[in-house]
Amino acid sequence: MGAGLSVADTPSAEEGSSVAAVLEALRAVDPDTLTPREALDRLYDLKKRLG
């Protein structure tokens, strides 16, 4: 079975903007400056944004 993306995996415009916002937030994170708790909080926030 192929592991490629199907049309159903293609994000809608709204989902695409959410993904873009999460990627932007993720790029802004400096993991070396976060406590473990802050890192977990950021991950949960990013996950929540993606739905």
| Amino acid in position 24 | E
Residue 46 sits at φ, ψ, to 5 deg, of -65, -40
Does the pLDDT value for residue 10 go beyond 50? Answer: yes
Asked if pLDDT for residue 18 goes beyond 70, the answer is: yes
Q: What's the pTM value of the predicted model, to 2 decimals?
A: 0.63
Residue 40 near residue 13, CB atoms below 8 Å: no
Instruction: Taking each helix axis as running N to C, give the angle between helix 13-28 and helix 36-50, from 0 to 180 degrees, rounded to the nearest 10.
Output: 170
